Amino acid sequence: MRRFPILDAWRSLAILLMIVYHFLYDLYIFGVLSASQLFSTPLNILERFICCSFILLSGACARFSRSNMRHGIVVLVCGVVVELGAMVGGQVIRFGILQFLGISMVLYHFLGKYLQKWRPIYLAAASMALYLFTGWWTAAATVSAGWLYPLGFTTPSFYSADYFPLLPWFFLFLIGTVLGGWCLQHRDSRLLNMPLPGALTWPGQHSLLLYVLHQPVLYGISYLIWGMKE
């Protein structure tokens, strides 16, 4: 897969911010932080930036990948592992971001060759319009069929600590593929090939491993902090 240092650095930033946010979330779970402290406007904006960064970058890398099917299955399996780990920790995750990204990569394996025939500006505009429309649609709708949650349609009792359904988020993933196409067209640009220190790019190059491993470590640290507080 083609790598661009600036994209790896962007993903590294998202990983670092994600670790900070999840640490704060774990402290909230143990009662060290209050709901008003965690669910504040600045932290809500930070959480959206982190998640949108991962989705856009995953879409971009789908344009570079030689096997979106294989990568998608690996990410999907890791998502199941995270979901099971959350159950052990007393949390509920259904169709979290890793499940979403894995399914999106598999879908792009089948759809990519057709979508790449679109002019990038048209694909980006259509994806943005559908992202906004389906986001409004799924937020306004409630259903009685509980199995529709991967599409974004939920029952009133549905809950997930991490939830990224295909609607509307798959369309943000497609906007990321447009970004990836732009990178391929400008692959020799100075910005994309700017040499960066390994400390800035290494986390982004190993983001999946860090995502899977960081939460058990943070959960353990939060438990110790809670114990000392008690």
Residue 214 pLDDT grade (very low, low, confident, very high; cuts 50, 70, 90): confident
Question: CA 176 to CA 195: how far, in whole Å?
Answer: 23
Q: Mean pLDDT throughout 14-39? A: 88
Give the pair of three-digit tokens for residue 102: 């894995």
Q: Mean pLDDT throughout 163-187? A: 96
How much is the pLDDT for 224?
Answer: 77
pTM: 0.93
Q: Mean pLDDT throughout 184-197? A: 92
| CB distance 180 to 115 below 8 Å | no
